[in-house]
Amino acid sequence: MSDQVAAGETAFPASSTAGYAEAADALAVQYEQVAFEDVHRDVLHLLPAAPARILDVGAGTGRDAAALAARGYHCVAAEPTAELRAHGQRIHGIRTVDWVDDALPGLPLHQHPGRFDAVFATAVWMHLDTEERRAAMARIASLLGPEGRFFVNLRHGPVPEGRRMFDVPAAETVQLGRTYGLRAVHRGERADLHGRDGVRWSELVLEPA
C-alpha cells in the first residue's frame, strides 16, 4: 500500500492516533487479553539485563511496560491517547511505570532525557507515513545507548475502519535502520494472536552497528 492516496483509494485520517480514543474501552480489553511473553517470546533472549532503562513507545495500556517493570526494568511508557493512558494507570497502577504524553516521530521526552537500553514500538510503526518513519528512526537511533536495541512489531493486513495504517515491509524498516546506523539482529514473523483474518506480524530487533 502506498503512502500516497491514488484515485479510487480511501484516504487515511491525518492523525496516526485516529480512532484510538473512541475505541479505548474495547482496546483496553483486547490489549490485555494477550501476555507480553506471548507477543515477544521470540525476542525475549535479546532483552538487556535488568535493571536497565526501557522506553515503550505507543504503550497503549502499558501491558508491555508493566511486564518489563515486573522483570526489574525501569520503564517509561509514552502514550499520546489520554483514554488509553487512563486505562493503563487503572489496570497497572501509577507507580509501575513512568507515564508520559508523547509520541513519534518527534518524541521529545522532556521529563525523561538520556538514552535507553531498549526501545519497544509494538503495533506503532505502521501508523507513520514515509516522512514520519524517517524522522522516527532518526529519533529512535538517537535514543539508543551504545548497546541498546530497538524492538519493533509491524502489522500487516486489513486496515480497521477509521484508522490510519500503512503496509510497511520489514525489509524497508531494516534498510531505514541502516540509514541511521542500526543493523538487524532479528527478523521474524508470527500469526495474529487475536486470530483476525488476514492479519500477520513482522518482528524486528535493531541495534547500533
Give pLDDT tens digits for 19-54: 566 667 676 667 787 999 999 999 999 999 999 999
Percent of the chain with pLDDT over 70: 87
Pairing of strands 53-57, 144-156: unpaired
Domains located in the chain, CATH noted: 24-208 (3.40.50.150)
Mean per-residue pLDDT of the chain: 89
Q: What is the pTM of this model?
A: 0.88
For cell 521529563, the residue is 111
Distance between CA atoms of residues 19 and 165, nearest Å: 11
Give the pLDDT score at 15.
59
Give the pLDDT score at 23.
64
Better-scored residue on pLDDT, 8 or 158? 158
Res 18 pLDDT > 60: no
Res 17 pLDDT > 70: no
Q: What is the CA radius of gyration of the chain?
A: 16
Give pLDDT tens digits for 97-150: 999 999 999 999 999 999 999 999 999 999 999 999 999 999 999 999 999 999
Following CA atoms 106, 126, 120, 70 in sequence, which dihedral angle do they give, to the nearest 10 degrees?
120
Mean pLDDT of 144-168: 93
In this prediction, residue 94 has a pLDDT band, given cuts at 50, 70 and 90, of confident
> Of 21-30, 91-100, 146-155, 161-170, which has the strongest mean pLDDT?
146-155
Distance between CA atoms of residues 60 and 25, nearest Å: 11
Pairing of strands 74-78, 98-100: parallel
